[in-house]
């Protein structure tokens, strides 16, 4: 069974937990959990096959990630590939868990960043001065409206 299927199975039971999977010297998370980790730590989200979102970080960042999850009262489970994906560690904040609250904030933030990145990449590729001028004009008009 692949990692993504294992994470899906664990998620069926622990819906409001960030599932981190240790594979060698890296930790991976998938789906909604990627949004949370990316949002809290500004890590890049990758899109894998079948439009599955993934975020990974080196084991040297483990303590920082865990601290951030605990600060924000987010439940988490650590699975280790070496131990046949057994649970290595688990944190349960009970009814203080803010998984859904942080996920909603993260989703909005990451979606906006992705939209901006698409626009940025389009502008780089099109290299059309007229389009770039129109974008600048729109931005400058908005600035004038907001400052008044």
Domain limits for position 30: 3-101
**pLDDT tier at 148 (50, 70, 90 boundaries)?**
low
What is the model's pTM?
Answer: 0.86
Domain identity same for 19 and 74: yes
Domain identity same for 118 and 95: no
Domain identity same for 50 and 29: yes
Give tens-digit pLDDT for 117-146.
999 999 888 878 899 899 999 999 888 777
The Cα 133–Cα 40 span in angstroms is: 34
Q: What is the CATH number of the domain that holds 65?
A: 3.40.1170.10
Q: 106 lies in a domain? A: no
**pLDDT tier at 94 (50, 70, 90 boundaries)?**
very high
Task: Note whether 28 and 55 are within 8 A (CB).
Answer: yes
Q: 62 lies in a domain? A: yes
Alpha helices in the chain (DSSP H): 3-13, 32-41, 62-71, 99-126, 129-147
Q: 129 lies in a domain? A: yes
Per-residue pLDDT, 144: 74
**pLDDT tier at 2 (50, 70, 90 boundaries)?**
confident
The Cα 73–Cα 71 span in angstroms is: 6
């Amino acid at each position: 069974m692949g990692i993504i299927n294992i994470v899906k199975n664990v998620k069926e039971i622990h819906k409001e937990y960030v599932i981190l999977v240790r594979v060698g010297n890296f930790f991976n998370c998938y789906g909604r959990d990627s949004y949370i980790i990316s949002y809290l730590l500004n890590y890049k989200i990758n899109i894998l096959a079948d439009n599955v979102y993934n975020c990974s970080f080196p084991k040297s960042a483990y303590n920082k990630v865990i601290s951030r999850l605990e600060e924000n009262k987010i439940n988490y489970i650590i699975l280790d590939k070496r131990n046949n994906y057994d649970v290595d560690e688990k944190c349960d904040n009970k009814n203080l868990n803010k998984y859904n609250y942080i996920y909603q904030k993260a989703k909005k933030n990451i979606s906006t960043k992705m939209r901006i990145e698409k626009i940025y990449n389009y502008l780089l590729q099109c290299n059309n001065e007229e389009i770039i001028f129109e974008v600048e004009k729109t931005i400058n008009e908005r600035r004038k409206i907001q400052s008044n």
